[in-house]
């Protein structure tokens, strides 16, 4: 991943030195941040707002592979994954805390690269880094992020509010992150077998970015607010459309019908999936890591969203006893399961 020569090693700086070194770069932009890094706890002030808290733990070789994930991208993505959860409550993220466990044999520059990605994400999304913990790890790299946000009491959207007749909407397009991962995995295998061969990733920028540098959909929260649409339920797509749909159905005690031909899939995702002999619909349903927003709206709000190119209406909510199903392009109804749909495991 990086050269160890002529680098500053973490053990030279010590824990306090490392924290001081890394936190020097932090800028505070949120009014709600009263005190960030540097005391026992961060102090935040959210007068009259509700506070949102979400946390994620990312472990090397479970959630990421340092053989093809650049450290800066890793830091950036780790933040996005967490911000996405705040936006999925219809809130705005305002602070994060970051804990990193890293081998003391790593050069300081490696931790700096991760932080560069983290701070870039903070900057792009106007989020303050207000605390954390840096510790040595005897095993792999560990990144734990907690995101904090706020929302007006009357605007918070749970998974549980979908009602029969509501329209099911999704932002952006799906499956790209998964297909991007297949591409990286293939090139890794080729590289492992013959390190002389340069990776062939040309022209695949979009799906590689979907995997390596996802962008949480803060813009969708802002857009819905400007359109004066309050969704009835909302969730971010981290595990794939199928799994998230089932979460909404379970929490809301409803069923759903979605239409295969309405699922937004980018042409590059589609064609690359086909090249890999993968069904693009399965990639969208079960691939995961797209970090798009899945939400339901009352039918009366349809006119407000129908012209937005970034929002696709893919189906509607039905009664619980009708179950969760997808109508395929050929008109056949398939039950949706947590693993995608019931053809997935055949």
Q: How far apart are CA 214 and CA 226, in angstroms?
A: 24
Residues in the chain: 346
Strand ranges inside 289-346, DSSP E: 293-297, 311-318, 324-327, 333-337, 340-341
Q: What is the DSSP letter of 166?
A: P
Binder among 3, 40, 193, 228 for its own copies (CB under 8 A): 40
Torsions phi, psi for 17 (to 5 deg)? -60, -45
Residue nearer to its own copies on the CB measure, 54 or 269:
54
Q: Among 79, 235, 242, 258, which residue interacts with its own copies (rule: CB under 8 A)?
A: 235
Q: Which of 6, 24, 48, 331 binds its own copies (CB under 8 A)?
A: 48
Interaction with its own copies in 93-122: which residues (CB under 8 A)? 95, 97, 99-101
42 vs 190: CA distance, rounded Å: 46
What is the closest distance, in whole angstroms, from the C-beta atom of residue 126 to its own copies in the complex? 18
Nearest to 211 by CA among 193, 186, 190, 234: 186
Q: Does the annotation flag 271 for ligand binding?
A: no
Nearest distance from residue 228's CB to its own copies, in Å? 22
Interface pick for its own copies out of 37, 44, 119, 168 (rule CB under 8 A): 44
> Distance between CA 132 and CA 181 in Å, rounded?
29
Q: Least separation, in Å, of the C-beta of 142 and its own copies?
A: 6
244/266 with CB nearer its own copies: 244
Q: Are 20 and 126 in contact (CB under 8 A)?
A: no
301 labelled ligand-binding: no
Count the site residues for its own copies by CB under 8 A.
65
Q: Does 324 bind its own copies (CB under 8 A)?
A: no
CA torsion through residues 200, 201, 203, 207, sign? positive
Structural contact between residues 215 and 291, judged by C-beta atoms closer than 8 angstroms:
yes
Identify the residue among 62, 193, 277, 307 touching its own copies (CB under 8 A): 62
Sign of CA pseudo-dihedral 198, 200, 202, 204: negative
Q: Is 85 annotated as a binding residue?
A: yes
* Residue 32 main-chain phi, psi, to 5 deg: -75, -10
Task: Tell me phi and psi for residue 96, to 5 degrees.
Answer: -135, 155
Nearest distance in Å: CB 340, its own copies: 14
Min dist. Cβ of residue 331 to its own copies (A): 31
Query: Strand pairing of 324-327 and 255-259?
Result: parallel
Cβ atoms of 18 and 136 within 8 Å: the answer is: no
Judged by CB under 8 A, which of 136, 164, 328, 337 binds its own copies?
Answer: 136
- Please indicate if the annotation marks 6 as binding a ligand: no
Q: Which one of the spans 30-38, 164-172, 265-273, 329-337 is the region binding its own copies (CB under 8 A)?
A: 30-38
CB of residue 319 vs its own copies: minimum separation in angstroms?
A: 22
Helix (H) or strand (E) holding 74, with range, is helix 71-87
Residues that bind its own copies (CB under 8 A): 16, 34-35, 38-48, 50-57, 59-63, 84-86, 88-89, 91, 95, 97, 99-101, 130-133, 135-140, 142, 144, 146-149, 151, 153, 156, 158-160, 234-236, 251, 338
Question: Would you list which residues are annotated within the binding site for substrate?
Answer: 63, 289, 341
Question: Would you list which residues are annotated within the binding site?
Answer: 40, 54-56, 63, 85, 115, 132-133, 159, 236, 238-239, 289, 341
């Amino acid at each position: 991943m990086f050269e160890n020569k002529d680098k500053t090693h973490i053990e030279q700086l010590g824990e306090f030195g490392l924290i001081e070194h890394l936190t020097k770069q932090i800028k505070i932009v949120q009014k709600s941040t009263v005190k960030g890094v540097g005391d026992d706890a961060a102090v935040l002030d959210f007068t009259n707002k509700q506070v949102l808290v979400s946390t994620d733990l990312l472990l090397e070789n479970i959630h990421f592979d340092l053989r093809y994930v650049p450290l800066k991208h890793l830091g950036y993505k780790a933040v996005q994954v967490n911000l996405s959860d705040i936006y999925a409550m219809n809130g705005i993220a305002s602070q994060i805390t970051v804990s990193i466990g890293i081998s003391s044999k790593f050069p300081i520059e490696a931790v700096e690269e991760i932080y560069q990605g983290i701070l870039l994400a903070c900057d792009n999304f106007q989020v303050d880094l207000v605390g954390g913990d840096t510790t040595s790890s005897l095993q792999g790299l560990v990144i734990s992020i907690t995101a904090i946000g706020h929302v007006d009491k009357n605007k918070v959207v749970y998974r549980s509010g979908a009602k029969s007749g509501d329209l099911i909407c999704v932002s952006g397009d799906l499956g790209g992150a998964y297909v991007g991962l297949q591409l990286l995995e293939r090139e890794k295998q080729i590289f492992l077998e013959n390190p002389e061969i340069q990776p062939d990733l040309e022209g695949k920028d979009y799906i590689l970015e979907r995997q390596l540098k996802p962008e949480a959909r803060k813009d969708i929260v802002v857009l819905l607010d400007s359109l004066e649409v309050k969704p009835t339920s909302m969730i971010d797509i981290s595990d794939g459309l199928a799994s998230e749909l089932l979460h909404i159905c379970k929490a809301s005690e409803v069923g759903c019908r979605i239409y295969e031909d309405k699922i937004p899939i980018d042409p590059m995702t589609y064609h690359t999936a086909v090249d890999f002999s993968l069904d693009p619909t399965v990639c969208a349903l079960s691939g995961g890591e797209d970090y798009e927003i899945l939400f339901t709206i009352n039918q009366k709000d349809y006119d407000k969203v129908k012209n937005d190119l970034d929002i696709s209406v893919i189906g509607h909510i039905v009664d619980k006893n009708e179950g969760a199903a997808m109508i395929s392009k050929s008109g056949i109804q398939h039950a949706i399961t947590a693993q995608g749909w019931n053809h997935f495991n055949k």
